[in-house]
Amino acid sequence: MKLNTSLKIGLFGIGLDTYWPQFEGLKERLEGYMDTVESKLAEVHPHIVNVGLVDSPDKAFEAGKRFKTEDVDIIFLYVTTYALSSTVLPVVQRAKVPVIILNLSPEAAIDYASFNAMTDRTQMTGEWLAYCSACPVPELANVFHRVGINFHQITGMLHNDPETWQEISEWVQAAKVANIMAYNRLGCMGHYYSGMLDIYSDLTQQYAHFGGHIELLEVEELAELRKEVSRAEAADRLQLFHETFDIQLDCPLEELEKAAVTSVALERLVAKHQLGSMAYYYKGTGNPENEEAIASIILGNSLLTANGVPVAGEYEIKNAQAMKIMDSFGAGGSFTEYYAMDFTDDVVLMGHDGPGHIAIAEGKTKVRPLKVYHGKVGKGVSVEMSVKNGPVTLLSVVEKRGGGLMLLVAEAESVAGPILEIGNTNSRYKFSIGARQFVNGWNSHGPAHHCAIGIGHISSKIEKLGALLGMEVRKVC
């Protein structure tokens, strides 16, 4: 899944200008290390603002100003050798973005025999300074702590260290997602499901933690857009349904045609408001146009969800955010809740009525007719799918007592087995701590009853996202 992001990475190295006339070739050697870091970072994300080696207070102020002017989202501070904290602080203090300290040794170890065989102690000191990246890190950490700089450390090697570069890649991915959320436009169409108190949310807290924009939409707008859909457009969309879904033979053509019209109208609604995600629900009071629009929305919303615009039902705004996070990580993010517990197989059945993330489905998603949408107005067609078998991650955006948000995460396996064939998304999940302990542990943190499920184990990336956003992250398993 392609991620559209305006993320900019700031990069700088550090040194001490006093060293350069003392130790011949040291500066050039460290600049070579910098070139290596930039090259490897560019393989992860190409938009890098590299201000080079900062070795004096004047250069530090200039670098900080450039990072601020260039609007970087995250800074990688490569510790090439010892440097004074006074030459580093102005860079990151002015930029006011999270800092990742790269404490990377150029090699696994100094060649002690060759080093000690050198006869010039000045040259020996210069050689040591090319390896002493670990030396100033405690000084920087101390100052950053006391000043209030949000920083994180990666300790490893410049070369032949896949673990280090995987960690760097995850920080970049997390920064991309933070950037996507900061510019995301979330559409909220309709109103809350009446009485479902856990999903009620303080929208200002969503702004405070993620940024972005929330657009409140009326169902009437979708109903009006449906009137503008031509027969040819509806026919083309119906053909797309047949190509995308496994449409069961008992699905009424009339309901499929309604869903096709709504799907086209939904895409126009999304384009008009530049939406990157959406939450919706509509109870209805007898307006047939509005009810038809909402009753026929599931297939269109499933297509949107599979194509980078995740849609959460029941006006679950917090979960629309969780779904967008998962999708931005390339993991999908399907709307789900507890369905039942299977103590025989020690699994939890989870799913939801309404749209599903068909791009992460196990096999082709079925479309089934429903005579009633349980607890909701209308009837029509719905999707039935299971999430791909294999590793999965659950994510919930939790509104905490007293205010503020946190991220709740768990890793599991989607496993094969019987599901409830009722025209809903439905999967079987096995947890390392067992079904009982997972349910108790997950519920203890007070999430809403919905969550987002994506493929792969990505809790380490979500933890980094939380660190960048200054959000608490709790992992159940």
- Interval 319-370: pLDDT, tens: 999 999 999 999 999 999 889 999 999 999 998 877 889 999 999 999 988 7
Overall average pLDDT of the 302-331 stretch: 95
Residues 6+ positions from 311 with CB-CB distance below 8 Å = 277, 278, 279, 280, 301, 304, 305, 320, 323, 335, 355
For range 294-310, the mean pLDDT: 93
Model confidence at 373, in pLDDT bands (50, 70, 90)? Answer: low
Domain topology for 184-475? L-fucose Isomerase; Chain A, domain 3 (3.20.14)
Q: Within the chain, which residue ranges are assigned CATH 3.20.14?
A: 184-475
pLDDT cut 90: percent of the chain above it: 81
pLDDT tens per residue across span 74-86: 999 999 999 999 9
Whether residue 3 has pLDDT greater than 60: no
Q: What is the pLDDT of residue 372?
A: 66
Distances (CA, A) of 299 to 294, 368, 380: 11, 11, 10
pLDDT category, 1, cuts 50, 70, 90? very low
The CATH 3.40.50.10940 portion of the chain extends over 9-181
- Please give the helix or strand (H or E) that residue 13 lies within, else none: strand 9-14
* pLDDT score for 5: 64
Average pLDDT for residues 183-194, to the nearest whole number?
Answer: 93
From the CA atom positions of the chain, what is the Rg in Å? 26
SS3 for 366-415 is EEEEECCCCCCCCCEEEEECCECCEEEEEEEEEECCCCCEEEEEEEEEEE
9-181 CATH: 3.40.50.10940
Mark 17-33 as b/e (b = at least 16 C-beta within 10 Å).
bebbeebeebbebbeeb
Confidence of residue 200 (pLDDT cuts 50, 70, 90): very high
Cα 53 to chain centroid, rounded: 32
Count of beta carbons in the 10 Å neighbourhood of residue 227: 9
